Structure 1
Amino acid sequence: MRCLRLYRLSRGRRIGEHPSMTDLTGRAVAVLQEADPQQKARLARVMAADWSNGEIAERGRDKPPDRPNRPTHPLLKRPGEVPRRRINRGTAGRIALLHALAHIELNAIDLACDILARFTAEQMPDAFYDDWLLVAEEEGKHFLLLSERLTELGAAYGELPAHDGLWQAAEETAHDLLARLAVVPLVLEARGLDVTPNMITKLQAVEDHESAAVLEVIYEDEIGHVAIGKRWFDHLCGTRNLDPRETWLSLVRLHFKGQVKPPFNAAARDSAGFPADFYEALALP
Protein backbone atom coordinates (compact mmCIF):
# COMPACT_ATOMS: atom_id res chain seq x y z
CA MET A 1 0.00 0.00 0.00
CA ARG A 2 1.34 3.43 -0.91
CA CYS A 3 1.83 5.63 2.12
CA LEU A 4 2.86 9.25 1.57
CA ARG A 5 2.83 12.06 4.14
CA LEU A 6 1.52 15.21 2.45
CA TYR A 7 0.90 18.78 3.53
CA ARG A 8 -2.23 20.61 2.39
CA LEU A 9 -1.75 21.99 -1.10
CA SER A 10 -1.98 25.76 -1.17
CA ARG A 11 -3.69 27.95 -3.76
CA GLY A 12 -5.82 25.18 -5.28
CA ARG A 13 -5.10 21.52 -5.70
CA ARG A 14 -5.63 21.34 -9.45
CA ILE A 15 -3.57 24.32 -10.56
CA GLY A 16 -1.60 23.37 -13.64
CA GLU A 17 -2.54 19.69 -13.53
CA HIS A 18 -2.42 17.64 -16.71
CA PRO A 19 -5.52 15.39 -16.33
CA SER A 20 -4.66 13.19 -19.33
CA MET A 21 -1.17 12.40 -18.06
CA THR A 22 -1.60 9.25 -15.97
CA ASP A 23 1.95 7.90 -15.73
CA LEU A 24 4.50 9.02 -13.19
CA THR A 25 7.47 9.66 -15.45
CA GLY A 26 5.32 11.81 -17.73
CA ARG A 27 4.26 13.91 -14.78
CA ALA A 28 7.83 14.20 -13.50
CA VAL A 29 9.04 15.27 -16.94
CA ALA A 30 6.25 17.87 -17.07
CA VAL A 31 7.63 19.38 -13.85
CA LEU A 32 11.14 19.42 -15.31
CA GLN A 33 9.88 21.12 -18.46
CA GLU A 34 7.94 23.81 -16.58
CA ALA A 35 9.94 27.06 -16.58
CA ASP A 36 7.76 29.11 -14.23
CA PRO A 37 9.11 28.55 -10.69
CA GLN A 38 5.79 28.90 -8.87
CA GLN A 39 4.05 26.59 -11.29
CA LYS A 40 6.89 24.07 -11.11
CA ALA A 41 6.51 23.89 -7.33
CA ARG A 42 2.75 23.46 -7.55
CA LEU A 43 2.97 20.79 -10.25
CA ALA A 44 5.37 18.80 -8.07
CA ARG A 45 2.97 18.95 -5.14
CA VAL A 46 -0.06 17.95 -7.19
CA MET A 47 1.91 15.05 -8.72
CA ALA A 48 2.74 13.75 -5.23
CA ALA A 49 -0.89 14.02 -4.12
CA ASP A 50 -2.13 12.21 -7.22
CA TRP A 51 0.32 9.35 -6.70
CA SER A 52 -0.79 9.06 -3.09
CA ASN A 53 -4.46 9.04 -4.11
CA GLY A 54 -3.95 6.38 -6.77
CA GLU A 55 -4.70 8.77 -9.65
CA ILE A 56 -1.40 8.01 -11.40
CA ALA A 57 -1.93 4.61 -12.97
CA GLU A 58 1.56 3.59 -14.14
CA ARG A 59 5.20 4.46 -13.68
CA GLY A 60 5.75 5.10 -17.38
CA ARG A 61 8.93 5.37 -19.46
CA ASP A 62 9.17 9.07 -20.36
CA LYS A 63 12.78 10.23 -20.47
CA PRO A 64 13.81 13.42 -18.66
CA PRO A 65 15.54 16.28 -20.47
CA ASP A 66 19.28 16.78 -19.98
CA ARG A 67 18.47 20.07 -18.26
CA PRO A 68 15.24 21.36 -16.75
CA ASN A 69 13.60 24.46 -18.15
CA ARG A 70 14.40 27.64 -16.25
CA PRO A 71 12.98 31.16 -16.19
CA THR A 72 14.95 33.95 -17.86
CA HIS A 73 15.87 35.18 -14.39
CA PRO A 74 17.82 34.75 -12.17
CA LEU A 75 21.00 35.25 -14.14
CA LEU A 76 23.17 32.17 -13.60
CA LYS A 77 26.83 32.74 -12.79
CA ARG A 78 29.74 30.64 -11.63
CA PRO A 79 29.62 29.88 -7.89
CA GLY A 80 32.56 32.19 -7.13
CA GLU A 81 30.90 35.09 -8.94
CA VAL A 82 27.78 35.14 -6.77
CA PRO A 83 28.11 37.64 -3.87
CA ARG A 84 28.23 36.15 -0.38
CA ARG A 85 25.07 36.42 1.72
CA ARG A 86 25.46 38.31 4.98
CA ILE A 87 22.44 38.26 7.28
CA ASN A 88 23.71 41.16 9.37
CA ARG A 89 23.58 43.56 6.40
CA GLY A 90 19.98 44.58 6.99
CA THR A 91 17.04 43.54 4.88
CA ALA A 92 19.17 43.29 1.72
CA GLY A 93 21.36 40.66 3.36
CA ARG A 94 18.40 38.59 4.47
CA ILE A 95 16.82 38.86 1.01
CA ALA A 96 20.06 37.62 -0.54
CA LEU A 97 20.10 34.63 1.81
CA LEU A 98 16.46 33.70 1.19
CA HIS A 99 16.90 34.15 -2.56
CA ALA A 100 19.87 31.77 -2.57
CA LEU A 101 17.90 29.22 -0.57
CA ALA A 102 14.91 29.55 -2.91
CA HIS A 103 17.22 28.79 -5.83
CA ILE A 104 18.49 25.69 -4.04
CA GLU A 105 14.93 24.52 -3.39
CA LEU A 106 13.93 25.09 -7.02
CA ASN A 107 16.84 22.90 -8.10
CA ALA A 108 15.86 20.36 -5.47
CA ILE A 109 12.39 20.01 -7.02
CA ASP A 110 14.01 19.18 -10.34
CA LEU A 111 16.53 16.81 -8.76
CA ALA A 112 13.73 14.81 -7.14
CA CYS A 113 11.74 14.70 -10.38
CA ASP A 114 14.84 13.69 -12.34
CA ILE A 115 15.38 10.73 -10.00
CA LEU A 116 11.75 9.68 -10.54
CA ALA A 117 12.05 9.71 -14.33
CA ARG A 118 15.69 8.92 -15.10
CA PHE A 119 16.36 5.66 -13.30
CA THR A 120 13.33 3.51 -14.13
CA ALA A 121 15.59 0.68 -15.36
CA GLU A 122 16.52 -0.03 -11.74
CA GLN A 123 13.08 -1.61 -11.07
CA MET A 124 12.78 -0.04 -7.64
CA PRO A 125 9.82 -0.84 -5.35
CA ASP A 126 6.82 1.46 -4.91
CA ALA A 127 8.29 2.67 -1.59
CA PHE A 128 11.16 4.29 -3.51
CA TYR A 129 8.68 6.36 -5.50
CA ASP A 130 6.67 7.14 -2.36
CA ASP A 131 9.82 8.56 -0.80
CA TRP A 132 11.01 10.65 -3.73
CA LEU A 133 7.55 12.03 -4.38
CA LEU A 134 7.49 13.11 -0.76
CA VAL A 135 10.83 14.84 -1.36
CA ALA A 136 9.48 16.56 -4.50
CA GLU A 137 6.37 17.69 -2.62
CA GLU A 138 8.35 19.09 0.29
CA GLU A 139 10.90 20.84 -1.95
CA GLY A 140 7.96 22.48 -3.70
CA LYS A 141 6.56 23.55 -0.36
CA HIS A 142 9.95 24.96 0.65
CA PHE A 143 10.23 27.03 -2.53
CA LEU A 144 6.75 28.46 -2.06
CA LEU A 145 7.43 29.34 1.59
CA LEU A 146 10.68 31.11 0.67
CA SER A 147 9.04 32.86 -2.28
CA GLU A 148 6.24 34.11 -0.07
CA ARG A 149 8.72 35.37 2.51
CA LEU A 150 10.69 37.20 -0.20
CA THR A 151 7.47 38.89 -1.28
CA GLU A 152 6.82 39.99 2.31
CA LEU A 153 10.29 41.57 2.32
CA GLY A 154 9.59 43.44 -0.92
CA ALA A 155 11.58 41.14 -3.21
CA ALA A 156 11.02 38.21 -5.56
CA TYR A 157 12.84 35.13 -6.75
CA GLY A 158 14.82 35.92 -9.90
CA GLU A 159 15.90 39.43 -8.93
CA LEU A 160 19.40 38.37 -7.81
CA PRO A 161 22.03 36.25 -9.56
CA ALA A 162 22.42 32.57 -8.67
CA HIS A 163 24.71 29.69 -9.62
CA ASP A 164 24.22 26.37 -11.40
CA GLY A 165 26.32 24.14 -9.17
CA LEU A 166 23.51 21.85 -8.06
CA TRP A 167 22.54 20.83 -11.57
CA GLN A 168 26.18 20.15 -12.39
CA ALA A 169 26.02 17.44 -9.72
CA ALA A 170 22.98 15.98 -11.50
CA GLU A 171 24.81 15.90 -14.82
CA GLU A 172 27.83 14.24 -13.22
CA THR A 173 25.67 11.42 -11.80
CA ALA A 174 23.10 11.00 -14.59
CA HIS A 175 24.49 7.60 -15.53
CA ASP A 176 23.95 5.82 -12.20
CA LEU A 177 21.32 6.03 -9.45
CA LEU A 178 23.82 4.90 -6.83
CA ALA A 179 26.16 7.79 -7.70
CA ARG A 180 23.22 10.22 -7.67
CA LEU A 181 22.19 9.08 -4.17
CA ALA A 182 25.78 9.28 -2.96
CA VAL A 183 26.21 12.90 -4.02
CA VAL A 184 22.85 14.69 -3.94
CA PRO A 185 21.19 13.66 -0.66
CA LEU A 186 24.31 12.39 1.13
CA VAL A 187 26.64 15.30 0.31
CA LEU A 188 24.64 18.31 -0.83
CA GLU A 189 21.53 17.92 1.33
CA ALA A 190 23.57 16.67 4.27
CA ARG A 191 25.56 19.90 4.06
CA GLY A 192 22.30 21.76 4.56
CA LEU A 193 21.92 20.02 7.90
CA ASP A 194 25.29 21.41 8.93
CA VAL A 195 24.72 25.06 8.02
CA THR A 196 20.99 25.69 8.52
CA PRO A 197 20.93 25.83 12.36
CA ASN A 198 23.49 28.65 12.31
CA MET A 199 21.41 30.57 9.76
CA ILE A 200 18.34 30.16 11.96
CA THR A 201 20.25 31.48 14.97
CA LYS A 202 21.48 34.52 13.03
CA LEU A 203 17.98 35.31 11.75
CA GLN A 204 16.60 35.09 15.26
CA ALA A 205 19.39 37.38 16.49
CA VAL A 206 18.23 40.13 14.10
CA GLU A 207 14.61 39.42 15.10
CA ASP A 208 13.55 38.04 11.73
CA HIS A 209 11.52 35.30 13.33
CA GLU A 210 9.33 34.80 10.25
CA SER A 211 12.32 33.85 8.08
CA ALA A 212 13.76 31.72 10.88
CA ALA A 213 10.47 29.82 11.10
CA VAL A 214 10.63 29.01 7.37
CA LEU A 215 14.16 27.66 7.76
CA GLU A 216 13.07 25.56 10.73
CA VAL A 217 10.46 23.84 8.54
CA ILE A 218 13.05 23.24 5.83
CA TYR A 219 15.62 21.91 8.31
CA GLU A 220 13.26 19.31 9.80
CA ASP A 221 12.17 18.12 6.36
CA GLU A 222 15.74 17.89 5.10
CA ILE A 223 16.67 15.44 7.87
CA GLY A 224 14.05 13.18 6.32
CA HIS A 225 15.46 13.73 2.83
CA VAL A 226 18.93 12.67 3.92
CA ALA A 227 17.38 9.63 5.58
CA ILE A 228 15.62 8.75 2.32
CA GLY A 229 18.87 9.08 0.41
CA LYS A 230 20.70 6.85 2.88
CA ARG A 231 17.93 4.24 2.93
CA TRP A 232 17.92 3.78 -0.83
CA PHE A 233 21.70 4.03 -1.12
CA ASP A 234 21.96 1.13 1.33
CA HIS A 235 19.22 -0.74 -0.56
CA LEU A 236 21.07 -0.48 -3.86
CA CYS A 237 24.37 -1.45 -2.27
CA GLY A 238 22.60 -4.54 -0.96
CA THR A 239 21.20 -5.49 -4.36
CA ARG A 240 24.64 -4.98 -5.95
CA ASN A 241 26.50 -6.77 -3.15
CA LEU A 242 28.57 -3.67 -2.30
CA ASP A 243 29.86 -2.35 1.02
CA PRO A 244 27.91 0.90 1.65
CA ARG A 245 30.69 2.87 3.36
CA GLU A 246 33.46 2.01 0.93
CA THR A 247 31.16 2.48 -2.04
CA TRP A 248 30.00 5.90 -0.81
CA LEU A 249 33.56 7.08 -0.25
CA SER A 250 34.61 5.90 -3.70
CA LEU A 251 31.64 7.50 -5.47
CA VAL A 252 32.00 10.83 -3.69
CA ARG A 253 35.72 11.01 -4.47
CA LEU A 254 34.94 10.26 -8.11
CA HIS A 255 31.88 12.42 -8.72
CA PHE A 256 31.80 15.28 -6.21
CA LYS A 257 33.93 18.23 -7.27
CA GLY A 258 33.83 20.16 -3.99
CA GLN A 259 35.00 19.37 -0.48
CA VAL A 260 33.22 17.51 2.30
CA LYS A 261 34.26 19.72 5.17
CA PRO A 262 33.47 20.17 8.85
CA PRO A 263 31.92 21.27 11.09
CA PHE A 264 29.32 18.52 10.81
CA ASN A 265 25.94 18.48 12.51
CA ALA A 266 26.45 14.97 13.84
CA ALA A 267 23.14 14.94 15.75
CA ALA A 268 21.07 15.70 12.66
CA ARG A 269 23.09 13.32 10.50
CA ASP A 270 22.66 10.59 13.10
CA SER A 271 18.90 11.25 13.10
CA ALA A 272 18.99 10.65 9.35
CA GLY A 273 20.84 7.36 9.83
CA PHE A 274 24.04 8.76 8.33
CA PRO A 275 26.88 7.83 10.72
CA ALA A 276 30.11 9.76 11.15
CA ASP A 277 32.32 6.90 10.00
CA PHE A 278 31.07 7.58 6.45
CA TYR A 279 31.85 11.27 6.06
CA GLU A 280 34.59 12.01 8.58
CA ALA A 281 37.10 10.08 6.46
CA LEU A 282 36.66 12.63 3.66
CA ALA A 283 37.27 15.55 6.00
CA LEU A 284 40.69 14.40 7.10
CA PRO A 285 43.65 16.50 5.88
Structure 2
Amino acid sequence: MASPDSAPSTSDAKTASEWCRAYVESSDVAEKLRPAPRPGDGDPSLGAERDLPRRLPGPGRAAHLRVLDRAEKIPKPGALVEASAVAKLLHVFLHHEIQAAELCAWAFLAFPEAPSEFRAGLLGILDDEVRHAALYAGRIEELGASYGDFPVRDWFWARTLTATTPLQYVALMGLGFEGGNLEHAARFEALLREAGDERSASLVGQVGREEVSHVRFAARWFSEWTHGDPTESPDFDRWRAELPPPLTPEVLRGKPLDRDRRRRAGLSESFLDRLDDFVDPLRPVRGARGKDPEVS
Protein backbone atom coordinates (compact mmCIF):
# COMPACT_ATOMS: atom_id res chain seq x y z
CA MET A 1 0.00 0.00 0.00
CA ALA A 2 1.34 3.41 -0.92
CA SER A 3 1.94 5.94 1.84
CA PRO A 4 0.12 9.29 1.65
CA ASP A 5 3.41 11.14 1.21
CA SER A 6 4.70 9.03 -1.67
CA ALA A 7 1.49 8.48 -3.63
CA PRO A 8 1.35 10.40 -6.93
CA SER A 9 -1.66 12.40 -8.11
CA THR A 10 -3.70 11.72 -11.23
CA SER A 11 -3.42 15.42 -12.05
CA ASP A 12 0.37 15.03 -12.46
CA ALA A 13 0.17 12.03 -14.82
CA LYS A 14 1.54 12.46 -18.34
CA THR A 15 0.45 9.06 -19.69
CA ALA A 16 -2.41 6.65 -19.12
CA SER A 17 -0.02 4.29 -17.34
CA GLU A 18 1.10 7.02 -14.95
CA TRP A 19 -2.54 7.93 -14.36
CA CYS A 20 -3.46 4.32 -13.58
CA ARG A 21 -0.62 3.98 -11.12
CA ALA A 22 -1.57 7.26 -9.45
CA TYR A 23 -5.21 6.22 -9.19
CA VAL A 24 -4.38 2.91 -7.53
CA GLU A 25 -1.74 4.28 -5.16
CA SER A 26 -3.50 7.48 -4.13
CA SER A 27 -4.77 7.58 -0.56
CA ASP A 28 -6.92 10.65 -1.24
CA VAL A 29 -10.64 9.86 -1.20
CA ALA A 30 -11.29 12.75 -3.60
CA GLU A 31 -8.89 11.15 -6.11
CA LYS A 32 -10.80 7.87 -5.92
CA LEU A 33 -14.18 9.52 -6.49
CA ARG A 34 -13.19 12.41 -8.79
CA PRO A 35 -9.81 11.73 -10.41
CA ALA A 36 -8.27 14.19 -12.85
CA PRO A 37 -8.92 13.65 -16.58
CA ARG A 38 -6.75 10.88 -18.00
CA PRO A 39 -4.08 11.88 -20.56
CA GLY A 40 -5.05 10.81 -24.06
CA ASP A 41 -8.73 10.15 -23.36
CA GLY A 42 -10.60 9.95 -26.65
CA ASP A 43 -7.51 8.78 -28.55
CA PRO A 44 -8.27 5.35 -30.08
CA SER A 45 -4.61 4.38 -29.73
CA LEU A 46 -4.71 4.85 -25.95
CA GLY A 47 -4.83 1.13 -25.25
CA ALA A 48 -1.70 0.66 -27.36
CA GLU A 49 0.44 2.44 -24.77
CA ARG A 50 3.11 -0.07 -23.76
CA ASP A 51 5.32 -0.30 -20.69
CA LEU A 52 6.98 -3.12 -18.81
CA PRO A 53 4.49 -5.12 -16.75
CA ARG A 54 3.90 -3.55 -13.36
CA ARG A 55 1.98 -5.54 -10.75
CA LEU A 56 1.09 -3.10 -8.01
CA PRO A 57 0.87 -4.90 -4.65
CA GLY A 58 -2.20 -3.08 -3.40
CA PRO A 59 -4.12 0.19 -3.28
CA GLY A 60 -3.59 3.36 -1.33
CA ARG A 61 -6.09 3.87 1.45
CA ALA A 62 -6.95 7.03 3.38
CA ALA A 63 -5.79 6.97 6.99
CA HIS A 64 -9.33 7.28 8.30
CA LEU A 65 -10.54 4.17 6.46
CA ARG A 66 -10.81 1.13 8.73
CA VAL A 67 -9.75 -1.81 6.56
CA LEU A 68 -10.89 -5.16 7.96
CA ASP A 69 -9.65 -8.66 7.21
CA ARG A 70 -13.16 -10.04 7.63
CA ALA A 71 -16.37 -8.40 6.50
CA GLU A 72 -18.95 -7.11 8.92
CA LYS A 73 -22.48 -8.37 8.44
CA ILE A 74 -24.56 -6.30 6.07
CA PRO A 75 -27.85 -4.85 7.35
CA LYS A 76 -30.78 -7.24 7.44
CA PRO A 77 -33.66 -6.46 5.06
CA GLY A 78 -35.91 -5.31 7.89
CA ALA A 79 -33.34 -2.72 8.96
CA LEU A 80 -33.40 -0.94 5.60
CA VAL A 81 -36.17 1.37 6.77
CA GLU A 82 -33.42 3.19 8.72
CA ALA A 83 -31.23 5.71 6.88
CA SER A 84 -28.14 4.57 8.78
CA ALA A 85 -28.62 0.96 7.66
CA VAL A 86 -29.07 1.99 4.03
CA ALA A 87 -25.95 4.16 4.25
CA LYS A 88 -23.98 1.20 5.61
CA LEU A 89 -25.23 -1.05 2.79
CA LEU A 90 -24.45 1.50 0.07
CA HIS A 91 -21.03 2.03 1.66
CA VAL A 92 -20.27 -1.64 0.94
CA PHE A 93 -21.33 -1.14 -2.68
CA LEU A 94 -19.33 2.08 -2.98
CA HIS A 95 -16.15 0.34 -1.86
CA HIS A 96 -16.83 -2.48 -4.32
CA GLU A 97 -16.95 0.10 -7.12
CA ILE A 98 -13.71 1.73 -6.01
CA GLN A 99 -11.98 -1.65 -5.89
CA ALA A 100 -13.32 -2.49 -9.35
CA ALA A 101 -12.00 0.81 -10.73
CA GLU A 102 -8.62 0.30 -9.09
CA LEU A 103 -8.36 -3.23 -10.44
CA CYS A 104 -9.07 -2.06 -13.99
CA ALA A 105 -6.12 0.30 -13.58
CA TRP A 106 -4.10 -2.52 -12.02
CA ALA A 107 -4.82 -4.79 -15.01
CA PHE A 108 -3.91 -2.03 -17.49
CA LEU A 109 -0.48 -1.91 -15.84
CA ALA A 110 -0.08 -5.65 -15.22
CA PHE A 111 -0.85 -6.78 -18.78
CA PRO A 112 0.76 -4.35 -21.26
CA GLU A 113 1.04 -7.18 -23.80
CA ALA A 114 -2.75 -7.57 -23.98
CA PRO A 115 -4.58 -6.33 -27.11
CA SER A 116 -4.99 -2.57 -27.34
CA GLU A 117 -8.75 -2.90 -27.65
CA PHE A 118 -8.89 -4.87 -24.41
CA ARG A 119 -6.79 -2.34 -22.53
CA ALA A 120 -8.83 0.58 -23.83
CA GLY A 121 -11.94 -1.29 -22.72
CA LEU A 122 -10.51 -1.60 -19.21
CA LEU A 123 -10.23 2.16 -19.03
CA GLY A 124 -13.82 2.57 -20.18
CA ILE A 125 -15.04 0.21 -17.46
CA LEU A 126 -12.85 2.02 -14.93
CA ASP A 127 -14.66 5.25 -15.76
CA ASP A 128 -18.02 3.55 -15.23
CA GLU A 129 -16.92 2.25 -11.84
CA VAL A 130 -15.68 5.68 -10.73
CA ARG A 131 -18.99 7.21 -11.79
CA HIS A 132 -20.91 4.54 -9.88
CA ALA A 133 -18.76 5.12 -6.78
CA ALA A 134 -19.43 8.86 -6.94
CA LEU A 135 -23.17 8.24 -7.25
CA TYR A 136 -23.12 6.00 -4.20
CA ALA A 137 -21.05 8.56 -2.28
CA GLY A 138 -23.58 11.25 -3.11
CA ARG A 139 -26.50 9.14 -1.91
CA ILE A 140 -24.65 8.21 1.28
CA GLU A 141 -24.13 11.93 1.95
CA GLU A 142 -27.88 12.49 1.51
CA LEU A 143 -28.44 9.80 4.14
CA GLY A 144 -26.25 11.65 6.62
CA ALA A 145 -23.01 9.67 6.34
CA SER A 146 -19.74 9.78 4.37
CA TYR A 147 -17.28 7.40 2.76
CA GLY A 148 -15.14 6.13 5.61
CA ASP A 149 -17.85 6.20 8.27
CA PHE A 150 -18.03 2.40 8.08
CA PRO A 151 -15.26 -0.21 7.84
CA VAL A 152 -14.22 -1.57 4.44
CA ARG A 153 -12.70 -4.80 3.23
CA ASP A 154 -10.46 -5.19 0.17
CA TRP A 155 -11.95 -8.54 -0.73
CA PHE A 156 -11.71 -8.08 -4.50
CA TRP A 157 -8.08 -7.02 -4.24
CA ALA A 158 -7.04 -10.01 -2.14
CA ARG A 159 -8.32 -12.41 -4.77
CA THR A 160 -7.61 -10.58 -8.02
CA LEU A 161 -3.91 -10.22 -7.22
CA THR A 162 -3.69 -13.96 -7.94
CA ALA A 163 -4.47 -13.37 -11.63
CA THR A 164 -1.32 -13.91 -13.69
CA THR A 165 -2.91 -13.57 -17.14
CA PRO A 166 -5.59 -11.37 -18.72
CA LEU A 167 -7.70 -14.53 -19.09
CA GLN A 168 -7.63 -15.18 -15.35
CA TYR A 169 -8.43 -11.53 -14.72
CA VAL A 170 -11.62 -11.50 -16.82
CA ALA A 171 -12.62 -14.91 -15.45
CA LEU A 172 -12.53 -13.63 -11.89
CA MET A 173 -13.29 -9.92 -12.07
CA GLY A 174 -15.73 -9.74 -14.97
CA LEU A 175 -17.43 -13.13 -15.22
CA GLY A 176 -17.05 -13.72 -11.49
CA PHE A 177 -17.44 -10.66 -9.29
CA GLU A 178 -19.36 -8.49 -11.74
CA GLY A 179 -21.41 -11.46 -12.88
CA GLY A 180 -22.49 -12.13 -9.31
CA ASN A 181 -23.40 -8.50 -8.90
CA LEU A 182 -26.09 -8.87 -11.57
CA GLU A 183 -28.09 -10.96 -9.12
CA HIS A 184 -27.14 -9.07 -5.99
CA ALA A 185 -28.01 -5.68 -7.44
CA ALA A 186 -31.46 -6.91 -8.45
CA ARG A 187 -31.98 -8.41 -5.00
CA PHE A 188 -31.04 -5.29 -3.09
CA GLU A 189 -32.91 -3.03 -5.48
CA ALA A 190 -36.06 -4.97 -4.60
CA LEU A 191 -35.32 -4.94 -0.85
CA LEU A 192 -34.72 -1.19 -0.83
CA ARG A 193 -37.92 -0.60 -2.77
CA GLU A 194 -39.85 -2.76 -0.30
CA ALA A 195 -38.37 -0.65 2.50
CA GLY A 196 -39.71 2.50 0.83
CA ASP A 197 -36.36 3.94 -0.30
CA GLU A 198 -37.09 4.48 -3.97
CA ARG A 199 -34.08 6.75 -4.49
CA SER A 200 -31.56 4.19 -3.25
CA ALA A 201 -33.40 1.37 -5.03
CA SER A 202 -33.23 3.23 -8.34
CA LEU A 203 -29.52 3.88 -7.90
CA VAL A 204 -28.70 0.24 -7.16
CA GLY A 205 -30.86 -0.77 -10.12
CA GLN A 206 -29.07 1.64 -12.43
CA VAL A 207 -25.67 0.29 -11.44
CA GLY A 208 -26.85 -3.29 -11.91
CA ARG A 209 -28.17 -2.61 -15.40
CA GLU A 210 -25.01 -0.80 -16.45
CA GLU A 211 -22.79 -3.64 -15.29
CA VAL A 212 -24.28 -6.00 -17.87
CA SER A 213 -21.87 -4.48 -20.39
CA HIS A 214 -18.94 -5.16 -18.06
CA VAL A 215 -19.82 -8.85 -17.89
CA ARG A 216 -20.30 -8.87 -21.67
CA PHE A 217 -16.81 -7.39 -22.08
CA ALA A 218 -15.34 -10.17 -19.94
CA ALA A 219 -17.32 -12.88 -21.76
CA ARG A 220 -16.21 -11.57 -25.14
CA TRP A 221 -12.51 -11.63 -24.26
CA PHE A 222 -12.71 -14.93 -22.40
CA SER A 223 -14.19 -16.56 -25.50
CA GLU A 224 -11.71 -14.82 -27.80
CA TRP A 225 -8.78 -16.14 -25.80
CA THR A 226 -10.09 -19.66 -25.20
CA HIS A 227 -11.58 -20.62 -28.56
CA GLY A 228 -10.94 -17.73 -30.91
CA ASP A 229 -14.55 -16.62 -31.36
CA PRO A 230 -15.70 -13.64 -29.27
CA THR A 231 -19.32 -14.22 -30.27
CA GLU A 232 -19.50 -17.62 -28.55
CA SER A 233 -20.44 -18.07 -24.92
CA PRO A 234 -17.62 -18.90 -22.52
CA ASP A 235 -17.21 -22.59 -21.69
CA PHE A 236 -18.30 -23.25 -18.10
CA ASP A 237 -15.63 -25.85 -17.28
CA ARG A 238 -12.85 -23.68 -18.69
CA TRP A 239 -14.14 -20.69 -16.72
CA ARG A 240 -14.25 -22.75 -13.53
CA ALA A 241 -10.67 -23.92 -14.15
CA GLU A 242 -9.43 -20.32 -14.40
CA LEU A 243 -10.82 -19.30 -10.99
CA PRO A 244 -8.26 -19.09 -8.17
CA PRO A 245 -8.77 -21.66 -5.41
CA PRO A 246 -10.68 -21.79 -3.16
CA LEU A 247 -13.22 -19.72 -5.13
CA THR A 248 -15.86 -21.68 -7.02
CA PRO A 249 -18.86 -20.65 -9.14
CA GLU A 250 -21.10 -21.05 -6.09
CA VAL A 251 -19.83 -17.87 -4.45
CA LEU A 252 -19.90 -15.95 -7.74
CA ARG A 253 -23.65 -16.03 -8.29
CA GLY A 254 -26.81 -14.98 -6.53
CA LYS A 255 -30.09 -16.82 -6.21
CA PRO A 256 -32.29 -16.74 -8.12
CA LEU A 257 -29.97 -16.47 -11.11
CA ASP A 258 -30.71 -13.40 -13.24
CA ARG A 259 -30.85 -15.26 -16.51
CA ASP A 260 -32.09 -12.31 -18.51
CA ARG A 261 -29.17 -10.06 -17.61
CA ARG A 262 -26.66 -12.87 -17.98
CA ARG A 263 -28.04 -13.76 -21.41
CA ARG A 264 -27.64 -10.13 -22.47
CA ALA A 265 -24.06 -10.38 -21.23
CA GLY A 266 -23.42 -13.18 -23.74
CA LEU A 267 -23.78 -16.29 -21.60
CA SER A 268 -25.51 -19.33 -23.11
CA GLU A 269 -28.35 -21.36 -21.62
CA SER A 270 -25.93 -24.24 -21.16
CA PHE A 271 -23.54 -22.03 -19.18
CA LEU A 272 -26.41 -20.67 -17.08
CA ASP A 273 -27.78 -24.14 -16.36
CA ARG A 274 -24.38 -25.30 -15.16
CA LEU A 275 -23.94 -22.18 -13.05
CA ASP A 276 -27.42 -22.45 -11.55
CA ASP A 277 -26.99 -26.13 -10.65
CA PHE A 278 -23.39 -25.96 -9.43
CA VAL A 279 -22.81 -27.29 -5.91
CA ASP A 280 -19.40 -26.84 -4.33
CA PRO A 281 -18.27 -30.30 -3.18
CA LEU A 282 -16.21 -28.70 -0.39
CA ARG A 283 -18.99 -26.48 0.92
CA PRO A 284 -19.51 -28.42 4.18
CA VAL A 285 -15.83 -27.89 4.96
CA ARG A 286 -15.37 -24.35 3.73
CA GLY A 287 -18.82 -22.92 4.29
CA ALA A 288 -19.05 -21.35 0.82
CA ARG A 289 -22.40 -19.85 -0.05
CA GLY A 290 -24.13 -17.99 -2.81
CA LYS A 291 -24.96 -14.82 -0.89
CA ASP A 292 -21.55 -13.65 0.23
CA PRO A 293 -21.89 -9.98 1.19
CA GLU A 294 -18.57 -9.23 -0.45
CA VAL A 295 -19.94 -10.29 -3.83
CA SER A 296 -23.15 -8.31 -3.47
Q: TM-score, with normalisation over the residues of structure 1?
A: 0.82
What is the aligned counterpart of 2:98 among 106, 127, 149?
A: 106
Instruction: Quote how far apart the aligned CAs of 1:194 are.
Output: 0.7
- 2:279 is the counterpart of 1:272: no
Residues 17 and 108 of structure 2 are in contact (CA less than 8 Å); yes or no, is this contact kept in structure 1? yes
Determine if the alignment matches structure 1 residue 73 to structure 2 residue 70: no
Letter paired with 1:172: T
Conserved 8 A contact 1:28-1:114 = yes
Q: Indicate the SS of the match to 2:88.
A: helix
What SS does the corresponding residue of 1:249 show, helix, strand or coil? helix
TM-aligned CA distance change 1:248 to 1:57, over 3 Å: closer
State whether residues 41 and 109 of structure 1, in contact with CA within 8 Å, keep that contact through their aligned partners in structure 2.
Answer: no
Q: Within the alignment, does 1:284 sit opposite 2:278 as a pair?
A: yes
In 1, the alpha carbon distance for the partners of 2:75 and 2:149 equals 14
Partner of 2:289: none
Task: Mark the CA change 1:39 to 1:260 in structure 2 (over 3 Å): closer, same or farther.
Answer: closer
1:209 and 2:198 are equivalent in the alignment = yes
Q: Distance in 1 between matches of 2:60 and 2:91?
A: 19
Is residue 2:143 matched to residue 1:143? no
- 2:63 aligns to what SS in structure 1? coil
1:189 aligns with 2:182: no
The Cα of 1:280 is off from its aligned counterpart by 4.0
Distance 1:83 1:221, change over 3 A: same
Q: Deviation per CA, 1:181-204, whole angstroms, max 9, x where unpaired?
A: 111110111110011112112222
Correspondences of 1:134-173 after superposition (within 5 Å): 134-173=124-163
In the alignment, what sits opposite 1:179? 168
- Change in 2 beyond 3 A, CA 1:54/1:186: closer
The 8 Å contact of residues 181 and 232 in structure 1, kept in 2 or not, is answered as yes
Return closer, same or farther for 1:276/1:148 CA change in 2, 3 Å cut-off.
same
Contact 2:84 2:143 in 1 (8 A): no
The one-letter code sitting in structure 2 at the alignment partner of 1:60 is R
**Counterpart in 2 of 1:8?**
none
Post-superposition, which runs of at least 4 consecutive aligned residues in structure 1 deviate over 4 A?
53-58
Partner deviation per Cα, 1:72-101 (whole Å, 9 max, x = no partner) = 23312233x412223432112111111110
The verdict on how the C-alpha distance between 1:55 and 1:147 changes in structure 2, with shifts beyond 3 A counting, is farther
Distance in structure 2 (CA, Å) of the matches to 1:260 and 1:139: 19
Q: 8 Å contact 1:234–1:244 — kept in the other structure? A: yes
Q: 1:279 to 1:66 in 2, by over 3 A?
A: farther
Q: How many residues get paired?
A: 261
Code of the residue aligned with 2:11 in structure 1: it is: E
Tell me the residue number matched to 1:12.
none
Shift of the alpha carbon at 1:164? 2.1
Paired residues for 1:114-129 under 5 Å: 114-122=106-114, 124=115, 126-129=116-119
Question: 2-side partners of 1:33 and 1:73: how far apart?
Answer: 16
| Higher mean C-alpha deviation, range 151-160 or range 54-63 | 54-63
Partner of 1:220: 209
**Paired residue for 2:29?**
37
Given candidates 23, 26, 43, the residue that maps to 2:18 is: 26
Moved more, 144-153 or 269-278: 269-278
Ranges in structure 2 where 5+ consecutive residues have no aligned partner: 1-8, 280-296
Task: Judge conservation of contact 1:85–1:93 (CA < 8 Å) in 2.
Answer: yes
